[in-house]
Amino acid sequence: MFHPIEIPFGCTMLFNVVDLKQGVTVADVELLLGEMCTVVKNNYGDDNGGFIGGQVFKNAGFISDEGSVMADDENYNKRVKQNMGDIVILTYWQSFEQHEKSHADALFKEKFSALAELCDETYEVGYEMLWQGVPEE
């Protein structure tokens, strides 16, 4: 469950931002997230399903001044904080089409719908990998 994952070059990454409703905490949705992630891992994790691995992060609230071009602009920081979401879910897939097929499946939709009821908004954006690397030894 908490093992390192290996991400093959050329995969597709989906970045899902989850903005919880006022008063709903990360602790309130942890079980739902776990159930949803288990459904994905156990049902779509073969060559037909295309799921490679995933990660879930909670918002820590910090913005990097060094990694942000407009970090000096107070309005920029305010806009970024408004759009950060409470949780992000990163999933890695062999293809975008396999991701879409899995998420159209009734089993996944049932779990995701339960999470969505506790959200103001959730959106998922896909990315294709251009580079990856590790430090030289």
Residue 50 lies in a domain: yes
Q: Is residue 55 part of a domain?
A: yes
State residue 104's pLDDT score. 95
Question: Residue 36 CB: number of other CB atoms within 10 A?
Answer: 20
Q: Domain for residue 1, yes or no?
A: no
pLDDT in tens, 22-43: 999 999 999 999 999 999 999 9
Looking at the 3D structure of the chain, how many domains does it have?
1
Q: Domain of 107: which CATH number?
A: 3.30.70.100
**Which domain, by its residues, includes 90?**
12-121
Backbone φ, ψ for residue 87 (5° rounding): -140, 145
Residue 7: inside a domain, yes or no?
A: no
> How many Å apart are CA 40 and CA 101, to the nearest integer?
11
Structural domain includes residue 85: yes
* Res. 72: pLDDT tops 80: no
Supply 16's token pair. 């899902």
pTM attached to this predicted model? 0.87
Q: What's the mean pLDDT when you consider all of the chain?
A: 89
Residue 35: HSE in the Cβ half-sphere, 13 Å Cα cutoff: 13
